[in-house]
């Protein structure tokens, strides 16, 4: 049956195909598979509540693999902090991790904004070859900007 959610997923599948974006294609295939086998009542709530956390765990594991394999060790760490690029990377990592924490709050408490963030992420993935880590960081940035705008409005009110 062609519901609005299935139509939306088909459009995403088409966009993923046009953009040759495997991440979108695989995600849509998985979602269609879950729906096809009538597992959506069980898996969708789980994925909605734990999916971001699981994704962060998988990304963290992938990032830590070079440490686990010995490719990156203390010697490389000491060498890297001698470069100003490393300090920029360190500060950037700290900044996005800091603002992403508020993104979790925003995603949990404002579902209407979540839709806009997800659509923005999908558009960036499909049309600009982006990577789908955007909703969490995007929510953190959105929260930071919202708080700043609210503060400015209060000052001028």
Q: Which of 23, 6, 25, 3 is nearest to 14 (CA)?
A: 25
How high is the mean pLDDT of the chain? 84
Is 125 within 8 Å of 131 (Cβ atoms)? Answer: yes
The answer on pLDDT for 37 being more than 90 is yes
How many CB atoms are located within 10 Å of the residue 14 CB? Answer: 12
φ and ψ of 132, to 5 deg = -80, 50
Task: Write down the residue that tokens 């991440």 correspond to.
Answer: 23
**125: which DSSP letter?**
H
The arithmetic mean of pLDDT across residues 106-124, rounded, is: 75
How many CB atoms are located within 10 Å of the residue 117 CB? Answer: 21
Query: Longest Cα pair distance anywhere in the chain, in angstroms?
Result: 60
Query: Mean pLDDT lowest for which of 41-45, 84-88, 130-134?
Result: 130-134
pLDDT band at 55 (very low <50, low <70, confident <90, very high): confident
């Amino acid at each position: 049956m062609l519901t609005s959610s299935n139509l939306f997923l088909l459009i995403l599948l088409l966009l993923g195909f046009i953009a040759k974006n495997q991440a979108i294609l695989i995600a849509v295939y998985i979602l269609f598979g879950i729906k096809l086998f009538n597992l959506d009542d069980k898996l969708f709530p789980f994925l909605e509540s734990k999916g971001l956390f699981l994704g962060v765990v998988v990304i963290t594991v992938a990032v830590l693999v070079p440490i686990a394999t010995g490719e990156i060790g203390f010697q490389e760490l000491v060498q890297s902090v001698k470069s100003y690029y490393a300090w920029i990377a360190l500060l950037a990592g700290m900044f996005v991790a800091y603002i992403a924490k508020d993104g979790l709050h925003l995603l949990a408490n404002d579902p209407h904004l979540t839709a806009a963030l997800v659509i923005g992420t999908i558009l960036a993935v499909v049309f600009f070859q982006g990577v789908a880590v955007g909703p969490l960081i995007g929510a953190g940035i959105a929260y930071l900007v919202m708080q700043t705008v609210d503060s400015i409005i209060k000052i001028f009110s």
